[in-house]
């Protein structure tokens, strides 16, 4: 028996056997569904977070412009 | 969860669930999940050798499958495509595992139990081999476990890993060679 064949035989004996005909011990579909829902929720919150931030910045600029009209040319300069 | 009305164009030889899944229909996705989860679980288990981890990785795989639905070609078979994604998930898990934590108590208990089924090989050599195997690079480990331990065809392993048959043979060869060197370094002449 050559080295490679012997090593392969040893490897087969050493690696833990698993029952590949076994099924998962629990119904995994609810977990998959939860994961998809979480993902959708995360996407939505990230998107709404950006919208909220954009709105707040815009509102701040409007308030600044109304309160201190002289800052408008300065803001326009930096835009 | 519903994604509204979907248009199903019936094409001969094309699974309607696959078409609906590609359009984001969760009910069709559940049908595909029920049909393929066992095969995906079994394949992942072959790679990671840990039933509880395999369950978590099935969830991760089907989540990735759902996210990648737009890239799925409904005219092709769902199973090999799902298997490729599951293989990537299993490889990611292998990569994240530290070799010293892989031989946990559960694994060691299984090794002890396997003494009964394989009395011809000394327990110590088997244990050292298992430890050396856990130290192999994860890509080599996956190829070796599928091709050598699970005796899957090189073609099947190549398709799942997304590499050529020649590359699978090379990985198995390198795995066996590294394993032998590692064992010799630890004073074991296989």
What are the residue boundaries of the structural domains of chain B, listed by start?
A: 16-96, 99-185
**Per-residue pLDDT band at B55 (split at 50, 70, 90):** very high
Determine whether B142 is exposed, middle or buried from the number of CB atoms within 10 Å of its CB (0-12, 13-18, 19+): buried
Own/partner long-range contacts of B111-116 (Cβ < 8 Å, ≥24 apart): B111/A14, B111/A16, B114/A13, B114/A16, B114/A17
Structure-block tokens of residue B168: 């699978």
* Domain boundaries along the sequence of chain A: 28-79
Token pair for B30: 């559940």
Least confident of B58-72, B75-89, B94-108, B121-135: B94-108
How high is the pLDDT of residue A47?
Answer: 54
pLDDT at B166: 97
Query: For residues B119 and B160, what is the distance between their CA atoms, to the nearest angstrom?
Result: 33
CA–CA distance, B59 with A35 (Å, rounded to integer): 8
A54 touches B at CB < 8 Å: no
pLDDT of residue B101: 45
Which of A 5-24 lie inside 8 A of B, CB atoms?
A: 6-8, 10-18, 20-24
CA A55 to chain centre: 24
Look at A21 and B30 and tell me if their CB atoms are within 8 Å.
no
Under an 8 A CB cutoff, do A16 and B111 touch? yes
**Residues 6 or more apart whose Cβ sits within 8 Å of residue B109:** none
* Averaged pLDDT, A44-64: 74
Q: What is the mean pLDDT of residues B105-116?
A: 51
Is A28 within 8 Å of B149 when comparing Cβ atoms? no
pLDDT classification of A73: cutoffs 50, 70, 90: confident
Query: Tokens 């090189």 — which residue?
Result: B154
Mean pLDDT of A25-39: 92
* B 3-62 near A (Cβ less than 8 A): 26, 30, 33-34, 37-38, 41-42, 45-46, 49, 51, 54-55, 58-60, 62
> Is this model's pTM higher than 0.90 or not?
no
Quote the mean pLDDT of chain B: 85
Mean predicted confidence (pLDDT) in B129-136: 91
* Chain A residues with beta carbon closer than 8 angstroms to that of B182: none
pLDDT greater than 90 at residue B117: no
CATH 1.10.10.10 fits B99-185, yes or no: yes
Question: Region B120-125: what's the mean pLDDT?
Answer: 72
> Ranked by mean pLDDT, which of A1-15, A64-78, B11-25, B41-55 comes out on top?
B41-55
Which DSSP symbol is given to B147? I
Nearest C-alpha neighbor of A35 from the set B40, B56, B78: B56
Percent of chain B with pLDDT over 90: 63
Substitution target in B109, B148, B183 with the highest count of A β-carbons within 10 Å is: B148
Indicate whether B43 pLDDT > 60.
Answer: yes
CATH number corresponding to B16-96? 1.10.1740.10
The beta-carbon neighbor of B180 closest among A7, A22, A25 is A7
**CB contact A27 to B (< 8 Å):** no
- Name the residue with higher pLDDT: B98 or B67: B67
Task: Write down the pLDDT at residue B106.
Answer: 53
Instruction: Kindly state the tokens that stand for B139.
Output: 């890509």
Q: Contact at 8 Å (CB) between B41 and B53? A: no
Instruction: Please state the ipTM of this predicted complex.
Output: 0.73
**Mean pLDDT confidence for B36-63:** 96
The partner residue sitting opposite B121, judged by closest CB among A10, A23, A39, is: A10
Residue B1 — very low, low, confident or very high, per pLDDT cuts 50/70/90?
very low
Is pLDDT of B5 > 50? no
Residue A52, both tokens: 């909220």
């Amino acid at each position: 028996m050559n080295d490679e064949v012997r090593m392969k035989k040893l490897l087969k004996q050493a690696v833990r056997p698993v029952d590949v005909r076994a099924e998962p011990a629990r119904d995994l579909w609810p977990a998959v569904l939860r994961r998809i829902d979480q993902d959708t929720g995360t996407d939505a919150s990230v998107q709404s977070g950006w919208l909220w931030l954009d709105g707040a910045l815009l509102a701040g600029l409007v308030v600044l412009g109304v309160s201190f009209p002289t800052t408008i040319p300065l803001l326009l300069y930096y835009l | 969860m519903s994604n509204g009305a979907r248009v199903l164009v019936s094409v001969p030889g094309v699974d309607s669930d696959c078409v609906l899944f590609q359009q984001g229909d969760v009910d069709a996705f559940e049908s595909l999940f029920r049909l393929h989860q066992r095969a995906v679980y079994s394949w992942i288990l072959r790679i990671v050798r840990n039933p509880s981890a395999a369950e978590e990785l099935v969830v991760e795989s089907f989540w990735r499958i759902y996210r990648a639905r737009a890239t799925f070609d409904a005219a092709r078979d769902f199973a090999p495509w799902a298997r490729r994604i599951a293989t990537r998930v299993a490889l990611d898990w292998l990569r994240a595992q530290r070799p010293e934590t892989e031989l946990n108590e559960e694994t060691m208990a299984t090794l002890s139990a396997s003494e009964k089924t394989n009395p011809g090989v000394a327990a110590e050599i088997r244990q050292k081999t298992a430890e050396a195997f856990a130290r192999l690079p994860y890509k080599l480990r996956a190829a070796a476990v599928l091709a050598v331990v699970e005796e899957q065809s090189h073609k099947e392993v190549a398709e799942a890993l997304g590499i050529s048959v020649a590359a699978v043979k090379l990985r198995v060869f390198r795995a066996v060679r590294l394993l032998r060197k590692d064992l010799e370094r630890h004073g074991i002449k296989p």
